[in-house]
A and B are shown apart, each in its own frame.
Chain A
Amino acid sequence: MRILFFTGKGGVGKSTMAAAAAWQLSKKNRVLIVSIDPAHSLGDIFGVTLKNSKSRFTDTLHLKEIDLHKLSKEYLQREINVLSNTYRYLRTLNLDRYFSVLKYSPGIEEYALLTGIEETIRDEGNFDYIIFDTPPTGLTLRFLALPRVTITWIDRLIQIRQKILEKRYTIHRIRGVLSKEETLLSYNEGDDDVLKRLRTLKDNSQALNTILQGEDCTIVLVFNPDILSLKESQRLIEGLEDLELPLRLLIDNKLTEENIEAAERVERDIRNRKDVPLERVFLSKALLDNKGGRLYDIPEDIISKL
């Protein structure tokens, strides 16, 4: 199974390119296209209404929109359940009230998004391609960076936790058996809930990072022939390099005869930074001549250079 992420600045045509690639690929493969952009336009492109569930468009093309708000809510609800099960006396409190503010905490949305991607990759193994239409650069870089940032933090927290357990073990050995009133704190690594949870989270993040950095994952960068798009694309390429994520295709979208020189300059600047295959997509001439018709002249196989 191959995984494609269509990234780029807001408004460059990520969703349209992702939809075109999905449509073309679905002629020979089973394809699932997933919108993780809060401003969903996938349904509009295909002319269907998607309500946060997977919808069959053709036999080989399925569409899905991930509702971030719903995901964050479900995630926090799961945590409330764990909290209530661990400390039963808390059941008398209305925890929902306290947790309702947490969904606005920085990072929760990115984590919910990442969980959504992880679940999709895990549950939809019967597709040949999963294509993700991502939100604009800022949020995309933040959620793509999350597994790596998490691993770094967890490593430090595990080190401190292990030191705490060592101290507990020393205290236990010297003090001996405690009286019944005192609670025996866990000192074995296998008994400590915090350490166990940290290790599980680290395994999950590592597994996801391996998928994202792997051979089967591809990041496609869509841009337009203008300076703002160029600057943001350069920032995105820099971010992807830092995260060691595989940018494998550039798509220069919305080209016309008038902006072709600017396009060449932008393409040159981007490819100086990262030399990967480039695909050009022109705006439909008929549309420019006010004769209506198609919006883009999309090549027959937009990702053939991958």
Chain B
Amino acid sequence: MGFSILSFLRHIFSGLHASQRENAVALTIVEMQELENIFALLLLGSFVGLPSPPTFLAVELLPFMEKELRILNRRAKDADDMLAEMCGVLGID
């Protein structure tokens, strides 16, 4: 019984610790995703009228860009509700 309480507490503390670490990196993750979004936009910018690099660069990197394309897609979907996006980033409920 004593062992299971100890294990339960350990579980709670480890969860709290993980949550603290998640909070600490939350903004860095948003920043990283923004950079990944910018990277994809720069490469594939011709689709939305941005000055773009030679097309072959986009073709050459396409096989390795799955994650960036997912982010780009998600950002395009969320673009009409930027207020909610900002509230999410700043942790306002």
B78 within 8 A of A: no
Interface contact B39-A160, CB-CB below 8 Å: yes
B residues less than 8 Å from A168 (CB atoms): 32
Q: Is the CB of A86 within 8 A of B67?
A: no
Count of B interface residues, CB-CB < 8 Å: 28
Q: Is B89 an interface residue (CB 8 A)?
A: no
User: In the complex the two chains form, what is the Cα distance from A167 to B67 in whole Å?
Assistant: 15
Among B24, B28, B38, B43, the residue within 8 A (CB) of A167 is B28
Cross-chain contact A153 with B53 (CB below 8 angstroms): yes
Residues of B within 8 A of A146 (CB): 54
Indicate if the CB atoms of A174 and B21 lie closer than 8 Å.
Answer: yes
Query: Do A171 and B25 touch across chains, with their CB atoms under 8 A apart?
Result: yes
Q: State whether the Cβ of B85 lies closer than 8 Å to any Cβ in chain A.
A: no
Task: Specify the chain B residue showing the minimal Cβ separation from A102.
Answer: B59
- The answer to whether B60 has its CB under 8 Å from any CB of chain A is yes
Smallest CB gap from B23: residue in A:
A174
B24 touches A174 (CB 8 A): yes
User: A149 with B61: in contact, given A167-B31, A170-B28, A171-B29 (CB under 8 Å)?
Assistant: no
Could you say which of A85, A153, A171, A176 contacts B57, with CB atoms under 8 Å apart?
Answer: A153
Contact B56 A175 (CB under 8 A): no
Chain B contact residues: over half helix, strand or loop, or mixed? helix
Q: Are B32 and A108 in contact (CB under 8 A)?
A: no
Task: State which residues 16-60 of B face A: CB under 8 Å.
Answer: 21-22, 24-25, 28-29, 31-32, 35-36, 38-39, 42-43, 53-57, 59-60
Contacts of B91 in A (CB 8 A): none
Q: Are B54 and A163 in contact (CB under 8 A)?
A: no
* Known pairs A102-B59, A149-B54; A86 contacts B64 (CB<8 A): yes
B84 interface hit (Cβ, 8 Å): no
A82 within 8 A of B: yes
Q: Which of A102, A157, A174, A193 meets B53, CB within 8 Å?
A: A157
- Known contacts A167-B28, A174-B25, A175-B25; decide if A150 and B62 are in contact (CB<8 Å): no
A82 to B60, CA, bound (A): 9
Q: Which residue of B lies closest to A105 (CB)?
A: B55
Known: A107-B55, A157-B53, A170-B25. A198 touches B32 (CB 8 A): no
Does residue A48 face the partner (Cβ distance < 8 Å to B)? no
Contacts from A to B (Cβ < 8 Å): 75-76, 79, 82-83, 85-87, 102, 105-108, 110-111, 146, 149-150, 153-154, 156-157, 160-161, 163-164, 167-168, 170-171, 174-176, 185, 193-194, 197-198, 201
